[in-house]
Every structure is written in structure tokens, then in C-alpha cells.
């Protein structure tokens, strides 16, 4: 039980009395370098300003410590982490499958859903699959009819790719504004 408490308390950089180096390089809250001081003297300066002494560079010799408000520091770090996490989110590829004998109502529904995903920024793959004795000519004719609905979006591949009995093409949203619908 005590192990868990120690471990949860050790998250983040060391601060105040937990800094165990005899001497530290101190930087003030406004970024001014105060030089190398003993840890005790640096702690006294931090307490005089009602701030914390936080170890920001533990791997350097001597360790770099900054006099700052620790709670504000943690808040900014969490905010940065959240911002980076939002930027790095990858959009999921959505795939819509069509067969050569699909009805016009089904085509319209899937095309509408595909354009909704494209507007949200997701890449969309349109796949035409053939079963049994379905002819290649009929599949290509239906596929080209479907692709006319995506003329305002840019495709990753210049032409539809053929892979076995399937044909596919991937679309992404054009940068900037799309053309009038």
C-alpha cells in the first residue's frame, strides 16, 4: 500500500525538499539566470517569493531548477499535452462498398454518407466488388456513374485501382473551400 502512495507522489518533476542535489543552477520566474547556488539557498529564495523550486533539467550538471508556481506549471504542461494530442489525432479511413447490381436508392444513400464523412475530414474509399459471373464492363459502368458524385473532392490515386475482383479509389477533402454543389 505504501508503495502505491510513494509512486503516485513521484509523478512529475521534483520540487522543493525532494530535490536531492547539493548545488543547483537556478533560473528565476521571469527567466533570469541566478547562477549556481546551494539547494538550501535556492529553496530560501523560492520561499521568500511564495513560489516553488522546481527541477526542470535533472540530467544536467548541476541540475537546472526554476523558481515558479508549480500548479501553474502543471496546468500549462497538461494544456500543451492536450493540444498536441488533439493535433495528432488521425482521421479514420471510411470504406463504402458497392456491387454492380446495386439499386439507385442504395447508391444515393451511400454517396450521401460518404460525402458527410469527407466534409468531416475523413478519407473515404469507394470500392466496387464483383461476385460470381458479374461482368467487368457492368461493374466499371456502375463504378464510373458513382464516381461522378465525387468530382468536387480530390482523389489520392489518379485512376481507380484494380485488385483481384475489386476496384477502389480513395478520396480526401480538397484544401480550402469546395466548389458549389
Whether 140 and 169 have beta carbons less than 8 Å apart is answered as no
Cα distances (angstroms) measured from residue 12 to each of 3, 64, 77, 84: 17, 15, 10, 18
Q: What percent of the chain has a predicted confidence (pLDDT) above 90?
A: 9
**What DSSP character marks residue 153?**
S
pLDDT of residue 97: 92
Question: Residues with Cβ < 8 Å from 24, sequence gap 6 or more?
Answer: 36, 37, 38, 39, 42, 53, 55, 62, 63, 64, 65
Determine the topology of domain 94-172 in CATH.
Answer: Translation Initiation Factor IF3 (3.30.110)
| DSSP symbols for 19-87 | ---SEEEEE-TTS-EEEEEEHHHHHHHHHHTT-EEEEEETTSSSPEEEEE-HHHHHHHHHHHHHHHHHH
Q: Where are the domains of the chain?
A: 2-87, 94-172
User: Strand 166-172 relative to strand 161-163: parallel, antiparallel, unpaired?
Assistant: antiparallel
**Domain 2-87, CATH class in plain words:** alpha beta
Cα distances (angstroms) measured from residue 8 to each of 11, 69, 97: 6, 20, 49
Query: For residue range 18-53, what is the model confidence (pLDDT) as tens digits?
Result: 888 889 899 888 888 888 888 899 898 888 888 888
pLDDT of residue 133: 87
Count CB-CB contacts under 10 A for residue 73.
17
Termini Cα distance of the chain: 63
Q: Considering the entire predicted model, what is its pTM?
A: 0.48
Q: Residue 52, by phi and psi: left (phi above 0), alpha (psi -120 to 50) or beta?
A: beta
Calpha distance 100→94 (Å, rounded): 20
pLDDT of residue 9: 55
Cα distances (angstroms) measured from residue 84 to each of 77, 92, 96: 11, 18, 31
pLDDT of residue 175: 67
pLDDT of residue 10: 57
Handedness of CA 112, 116, 117, 123 (dihedral sign): positive
Tens of each residue's pLDDT in the chain, 181 residues:
455 554 545 577 888 888 888 898 998 888 888 888 888 998 988 888 888 888 888 888 888 988 988 888 888 888 988 888 776 666 788 899 999 998 999 999 999 999 998 888 888 899 999 988 888 888 889 988 888 888 888 777 778 888 888 899 888 887 644 444 3
Amino acid at each position: 500500500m505504501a508503495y502505491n502512495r510513494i509512486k503516485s507522489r513521484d509523478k512529475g518533476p521534483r520540487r522543493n525538499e525532494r530535490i536531492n542535489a547539493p548545488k543547483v543552477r537556478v533560473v528565476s520566474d521571469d527567466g533570469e539566470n541566478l547562477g549556481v547556488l546551494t539547494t538550501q539557498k535556492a529553496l530560501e529564495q523560492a520561499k521568500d517569493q511564495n513560489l516553488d523550486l522546481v527541477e526542470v533539467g535533472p540530467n544536467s550538471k548541476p541540475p537546472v531548477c526554476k523558481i515558479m508556481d508549480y500548479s501553474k506549471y502543471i496546468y500549462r504542461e497538461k494544456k500543451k499535452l492536450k493540444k498536441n494530442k488533439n493535433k495528432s489525432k488521425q482521421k479514420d479511413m471510411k470504406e463504402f462498398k458497392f456491387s454492380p447490381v446495386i439499386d439507385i436508392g442504395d447508391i444515393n444513400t451511400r454517396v450521401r454518407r460518404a460525402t458527410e464523412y469527407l466534409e468531416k475530414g475523413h478519407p473515404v474509399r469507394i470500392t466496387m466488388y464483383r461476385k460470381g459471373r458479374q461482368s467487368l464492363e457492368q461493374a466499371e459502368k456502375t463504378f464510373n456513374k458513382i464516381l461522378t458524385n465525387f468530382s468536387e473532392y480530390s482523389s489520392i490515386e489518379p485512376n481507380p485501382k484494380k485488385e483481384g475482383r475489386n476496384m477502389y479509389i480513395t478520396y480526401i477533402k480538397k484544401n480550402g473551400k469546395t466548389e458549389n454543389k
